[in-house]
Every structure is written in C-alpha cells, then in structure tokens.
C-alpha cells in the first residue's frame, strides 16, 4: 500500500521549525519590508556625499548594515515559509514580495561600494582617527578596497549591473532544458513496472542491484543528453563567454582569476589541489579496483559507479535516536558546543520531516539576531543522521560567527562554508566506526567514507579541471563545441578512474547535465573544504582540547580574515598541498581497512 506524505497541517508541531522566533506575526514582517525600504531611501540621500567626512561615512555604514540586516531577515523568513510547503500560495506570495522588495533595495544602494572606492587609503586612515566608530566597519572597508582595481566607475558599474539579467540566460536556459523540457524514455524496473527516467531518478536507478537495468538506464539517459549536445554546448559556451566579458571588463587576466578573487583566494590554492589529486590518482585507481573486485564483475563500467559495493546495511534510526547519536559523536567538541546543539533540538530550530509540497534536500539558513534554522527531510536512515550532523555543523558555524561578530563581519566566505559541516560528519563516522560490531556495519561505514572521498575530493576536482581547461580553450579562441567538450571530459574521466574502469563513450556527455558548471568555478571549494575538515576532525580526535579551542576560534571569526588565513587558525594551511595530501593518506588507509575486511 502506498504511503502518502502528510499534509503540512498534519506534521506534529514539535517536528517543525518555530519561525515565530523571527516574527511573532506577519504584521511585523510587513513592517520590516517598509523599514528596509525606508533605510535604503535614507542611504540613497547620501549618494555622492557619503565620503565627504568621517561622520557621514559612519552614518552611511550604520544605515547600510541596518538595511542589509533587515532585508536578510524578511527575505529569509519568506523563503523558509515558501520552502515548508511550495504548494501553499500564501508562502509563494510572501517569497515573491520579498524578492521584489529586496531587488528594489539593492538597486537603491548600488552606489555604496563604488563611492567608498573613491577614497584613498590615506583618507580612510584619517577618517579612522577622526571617527573611531568607523573601526567597526574596517573589515568591510578593507574588502571593498581590496578589489579597487577591478571596480569601475559608477556609470560603468550600472551598465554591468544592467547586464546581469542577460548574463543569467545560459544558466536559466540550462535549467529549463534540463528540468522542464528534456523528457526521457521509460524502463521496466525489477518488479516489471514502467518507470520513466528523469534527472531525479537517474542516480537511484543507477544504484539498483540489477546490472542490466543500470546499463539500459545509463545508455538511454546519456543518449538523450547527447541528442541535444549542440544545444548544451551553446549554453555552456554562453556561460563561459559572459564570464570572459565580466573578467575583461574588470581587468582580470582570466575568468578563473576573477572567480577566485571574489573569495579572496589565490589561484595557487586550486593549483595545489589539482596537483595533489593527480599525485593521489593511485589511490583512486585502487578504490576502482576494489569496487570491481567487490562487485565481482569482469569489467567495471561507468554504470557500476553508484551501486553499493557492499550489501546495504539497513539501519533504521528514529529522529530521537539520531539526536542522541549526534550528541555522543560531537562530544569531543566540548560541553559548550553540545549545549547549543541541545538548544537547537529543544527549541525547534529544525524542520524535520517530509510533507506534501516541502522543498527537497536539506540546508542550514542564517537568521541574524535570532538563531540559525535547518530544513531536513528525515526518513529514519543512517544517511539522514549524517545529513543532520552536516547541517548542524553549518548552523554551529553560523551561530558562533553571529554571536561573536557584527552582522557584516559574520558572513564567512563560501570557501570555508563546508568545513564545519564536513568536520561533524567525520566525527560521526569515527564515532560509529569505533562502536561498530558486525562486519556488515563496518563495511557500510567505511564505504560511506570512501564514497565521500570519491564524490567530493576526486569528482569535484575533476569538475574543476574541466572548467579550467574549457575556459582556457575559449580564452585561447578555441570554439566550445559538443565534440571538443566531450573529448576533454572523456579524457579526464579516463585519467581519474584509471585502467580498471571502462570509460564508456557516452560518459563523455556527462558534462551536459552538471548544473555546477554554471556556478563560476564553485566546485573546487567542496574539495578544499573536505580536505580541511578531514585534517581538523582527526586532529580533534588525536589532540583534544587545544585543537578544539583553535577550531572554535575559527568558527567565531566570521569573515574577519581571508579564508586561507582563517583556516590557519584551525591548524590547516591550504596555501600548501599538505592538507590534501594528508586527506588522501586517510583515503588510502580507509581502502586498506576495506580490503582487510574482504580478504
């Protein structure tokens, strides 16, 4: 009998998030929309005047911070209302109104950064002496001035801003084709039922124990992508061309340099990652050989990548049990850390279960001045426990940053955003491995770890290389066609998976379906964050309290230093290849452990 999802109104209130902590009623939400608009109007009155003296600049920054904080609050509330039930028209209306109001605010305050850039360092230092209150905004001022040579006149910035909607066309086109227009054929599943292939169903179908089904799905899925190869290539080429336009306009040498500079990270960090991963290909190839052996196949194909290589360990974990498990696993982080985690559990920071219309997946969301929120779709699996501690890691990073830093100083960069979440996952994994009794349970957990390395450290670095190579091709005047892109991708696939993997010709078209290729060199940060987290988690377990204190100092630092310097506080130096090298040693050890289990 089919189990229906509950309606939102049928979910027990204790398993829903308490958005009343942000606004007790919607009238207060309405007032904040008006308040942010009024603050933006007051700030706009200072256009052309805000840098005339220290007192006016301080007034402008105070208005700007209040305006951004208020806008973030009402937008975040509306977004969460929308996500808890996307079929609820009221939630959608709130979200649409918040988006429109926020766009108007941003338009009104767009002069802010360019005007600060008219100041010299000497003038800023004089302002600090005249108005000590400005020191509160020193981090923001430094970050704005850091990109001075890449910011244009107000008029030119307005032109670039007006082109931003047009620049989204390749990404929007990709989304429409991939998610709305592209239709796939059906296959018969193990029960003889007709199942239509879709982007969402592809990986679950590839996890099937039925190898013939996996092969059929793989071939039908990628053949469909290949049919539209020229269109995907035109969209991706458009994405790269718009990056080239902005990079050139802002006086960068390349699209890659422009992208990493936005995070205040040197290109060498990514170069080190790729170099270390190449040196560690032997471990990835060992993993592929192990997968081939455990699946018991003569040839390992790309349609064998997702299916579990060990018998699934079917552990059912209720949410109550998951909370207890997480508290034990995170105990090395100290009582003060656990106390905040308990607050999250006791005070409804989490929207726990799936309901009709609820947004899929999971996330953690900031709400400065209240507390972070987490959205889950908890289904009583061990994987869901990993998702819970992952999102709790994000939330704890946010909580510490927001309690220690002002609003503008609390926004840590994306480069470090996955560190706390992954550190928590590794602590959970090590805790569970430490108490695992059966071979099946140990194998499941080691496999989980191996899959994390494969999908995060290797796969995301491979994606990064694809972006680097193809952007460079376009910059060198080489057309990005379906054939040239497929060739680059297939060669990378062969390098990464090695000789024990048959790189089926259709895998050359996997690039067509990856949305991250429209995120402007985002993916390498998953790999660097993962490497940093492996180092931090193992140091916490080996060295204890002193490392925990360093780690918490990192969590409390917001964006007060550049990301690489922040990670140095936690004892990780990503200006070298050492953290990635050490993470890959851990991967090698996990392969040893799995081989030992299956001798």
Active site residues: 391
Q: Which residues contact 316 (CB under 8 A, 6 or more apart)?
A: 380, 381
d(CA 101, CA 96): 9
Q: Which residues contact 462 (CB under 8 A, 6 or more apart)?
A: 492, 493, 496
Q: Measure CA of the first residue to CA of the last residue in the chain; give whole Å.
A: 42
d(CA 530, CA 519): 19
* Closest of 9, 508, 567, 16 to residue 232, by C-alpha: 508
Q: At what angle do helices 578-597 and 267-279 cross, to 10 degrees?
A: 30
For the range 143-151, what are the long-range contacts, defined as Cβ-Cβ under 8 Å and sequence gap of 24 or more? 143/264, 143/559, 144/113, 144/116, 144/117, 145/116, 145/117, 145/119, 145/121, 146/264, 147/261, 148/117, 149/251, 150/250, 150/251, 150/252, 150/258, 150/261, 151/113, 151/114, 151/117, 151/250
Return the CA Rg of the chain: 25
d(CA 500, CA 494): 10
State the burial class of residue 377 (Cβ atoms within 10 Å of its Cβ: 0-12, 13-18, 19+).
middle
d(CA 534, CA 450): 13
Sign of CA dihedral 565, 568, 573, 574: negative
The gap from C-alpha 482 to its chain's centroid, in whole angstroms, comes to 28
Q: How far is CA 192 from CA 189, 213, 216, 432, 438, in A?
A: 5, 11, 14, 38, 34
């Amino acid at each position: 009998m089919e189990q229906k999802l509950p309606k939102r109104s049928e979910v027990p209130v204790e398993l829903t998030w308490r958005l009343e902590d942000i606004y007790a009623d919607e009238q207060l939400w309405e007032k904040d929309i008006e308040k942010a608009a009024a603050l933006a109007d007051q700030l706009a009155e200072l256009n052309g005047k805000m840098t005339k003296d220290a007192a006016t600049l301080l007034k402008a920054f105070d208005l700007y911070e209040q305006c951004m904080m208020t806008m973030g609050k009402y937008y975040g509330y509306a977004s969460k209302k929308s996500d808890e039930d996307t079929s609820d028209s009221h939630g959608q209306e709130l979200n649409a109104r918040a988006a429109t109001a926020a766009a108007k605010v941003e338009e009104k305050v767009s002069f802010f950064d360019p005007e600060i850039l008219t100041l010299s360092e000497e003038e800023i230092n004089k302002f600090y002496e005249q108005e000590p209150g400005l020191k509160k905004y020193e981090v923001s001022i430094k970050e704005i001035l850091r990109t001075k040579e890449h910011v244009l006149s107000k008029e030119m910035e307005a032109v670039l801003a007006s082109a931003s909607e047009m620049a989204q066309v390749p990404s929007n086109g990709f989304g429409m084709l991939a998610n709305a227009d592209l239709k796939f054929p059906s296959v018969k599943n193990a029960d003889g039922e007709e199942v239509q292939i879709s982007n969402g169903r592809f990986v679950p179908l590839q996890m099937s124990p039925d190898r013939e089904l996996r092969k059929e799905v793989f071939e039908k899925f990628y053949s469909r992508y290949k049919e539209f190869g020229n269109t995907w290539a035109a969209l991706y080429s458009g994405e790269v061309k718009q990056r080239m336009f902005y990079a050139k306009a802002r006086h960068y040498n390349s699209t890659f340099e422009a992208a990493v500079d936005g995070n205040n990270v040197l290109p060498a960090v990514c170069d080190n990652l790729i170099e270390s991963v190449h040196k560690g290909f032997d471990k990835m190839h060992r993993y592929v050989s192990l997968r081939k052996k455990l699946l018991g196949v003569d040839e390992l194909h790309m349609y064998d990548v997702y299916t579990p290589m060990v018998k699934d360990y079917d552990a059912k974990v209720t949410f109550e049990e998951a909370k207890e498990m997480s508290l034990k696993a995170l105990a090395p982080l100290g009582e003060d850390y656990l106390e905040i985690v308990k607050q999250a559990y006791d005070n409804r920071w989490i929207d726990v279960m799936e309901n009709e219309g609820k947004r899929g997946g999971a996330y953690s969301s900031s709400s400065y001045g209240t507390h972070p929120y987490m959205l889950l779709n908890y289904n009583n699996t061990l994987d869901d426990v990993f998702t819970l501690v992952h999102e709790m890691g994000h939330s704890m990073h946010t909580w510490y940053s927001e309690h220690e830093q002002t609003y503008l100083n609390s926004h840590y960069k994306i480069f470090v955003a996955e560190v706390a979440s992954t550190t928590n996952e590794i602590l959970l994994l090590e805790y569970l491995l430490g108490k695992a009794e059966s071979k099946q349970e140990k194998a499941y957990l080691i496999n989980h770890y191996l899959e994390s390395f494969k999908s995060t450290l290797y796969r995301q670095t491979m994606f990064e290389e694809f972006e680097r190579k193809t952007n460079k091709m376009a910059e060198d005047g080489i057309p990005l066609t379906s054939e040239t892109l497929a060739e680059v991708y297939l060669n990378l696939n062969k390098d990464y998976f090695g000789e024990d993997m048959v790189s089926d010709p259709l895998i050359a078209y996997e690039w067509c379906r990856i949305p991250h290729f429209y995120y402007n060199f985002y993916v390498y940060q998953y790999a660097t964050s993962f490497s940093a987290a492996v180092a931090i988690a193992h140091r916490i377990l080996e060295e204890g309290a002193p490392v925990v204190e360093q780690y918490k100092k990192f969590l409390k630092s917001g964006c007060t230093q550049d990301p690489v310097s922040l990670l140095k506080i936690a004892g990780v130096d990503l200006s070298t290849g050492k953290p990635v090298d050490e993470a890959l040693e851990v991967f090698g050890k996990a392969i040893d452990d799995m081989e030992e289990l299956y001798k």
